[in-house]
Amino acid sequence: MILYPPAKINLGLNILRKREDAYHDIDTCMVEIPFTDILEVTKAGSFEFLQTGIKISGNGGVNLCEKAYLLLRKEFEVGPVRIHLRKQIPVGAGLGGGSADATYTLIALNELFQLGLSNQKLKQLSTDLGSDCPFFVDGLPQIAQGRGEVLSTVELDLSKYYLVLLNPGIHVGTKEAYAGVTANEQVMAVQEILEKPIQQWQHLLKNDFEQSVFHLFPEIQKLKNSLYESGAIYAAMSGSGSSVYGLFLNENTMLEFTSPHLIYKGRFKNPS
C-alpha cells in the first residue's frame, strides 16, 4: 500500500495564551498542499522501518511512523509490517511533514488490517503522536485551536490561486520559536479574517512566530518579502518556520518566480 502524506501551510497563526500544561492555545487555519512524502506500508514477517530521501537529523530516536505503529499495536490486532518512508518534505520547516507521516501510517494500518476505525478514533489516537496530527485525518481546510488538536471545518476555496513554497534549509525548533513570542488574546479570530477579501489578508492575517523567527533569521523575512515583490497577493511563514509561501492570482507571474530555495510551485489545490 502506497500513500502520499501531504505538507500543510498555516493561514494565520495567533498565539493566544500559555497553558498550565506548558503548551500554548493557538488559533490558526491549516490547509493541505499538493507537496508530499511517499509512504509504503506492507505486511511482513517482522517489523522493519526504512527511511530514504531527505535525511532526518537527530539522535537516531524512534521515527513518528514507528511510534504510530507501536501505538496502534498496543490496542488492536496489528501484525508486523515493513514501512518505507521516502522523505521529501523538509524537516523543521513548519510544514507538518512528520505529523502527516505519522497520521498516514495509522490510516494505512487501519486499512491494511481492516480494523474499521472511524475518523474520529483515528484523530483520538493521532493526538498522542503530535498536536498537528489529527488535522491530517480528514484533509480538509480546518481551523485549529487549543494546542492545535481542536478542529473545525472552515469554508475556504483557494482553487483559483497558485502557490509558491520556499524553504531556506534552516531548522527552526518549536521551543526556539516559542521562546521569543508574546501571547495576545486581543486579536481578530483567524476565521473572521478568512471571510474577508484576500486583498485584506496582508494587513490582517498574521503569524505570531514571524517577529521572533525573523529576528533570529533575517534571511527568512527576505524570502517572504521577495514573494510580495514578485506579485504574491498574500505571503507568510508557515507554522514556526522556516518555510514561507505566497499565493498568486496570475499563473504566469507564479511561473516566472525563481529562487534557489523554491521547493514547490503550482495550482493551489488539495492533493488527490
Reduced 3-state DSSP string for 155-195: CCCCCCCEEEEECCCCCCCHHHHHHCCCCCCCCCCHHHHHC
116 is written with which cell numbers?
474499521
| Cα atoms found within 13 Å of the Cα of residue 94, Cβ hemisphere only | 32
Q: Which of 29, 34, 269, 252 is nearest to 158 (CA)?
A: 269
Asked if omega into 242 is within 30° of 0 (cis), the reply is yes
What CA–CA distance (Å, rounded) separates 135 from 133?
Answer: 5
Residues with active-site annotation: 8, 132
Reduced 3-state DSSP string for 17-63: EECCCCCEEEEEEEEEEEEECEEEEEECCCCEEEEEECCCCCCCCCC
Contact in structure between 30 and 96 (CB atoms under 8 Å): yes
Please list the helix, strand and coil fractions of the chain in percent, rounded to the nearest 5, in that order.
30, 30, 40
Distance from chain centroid for Cα 180: 21
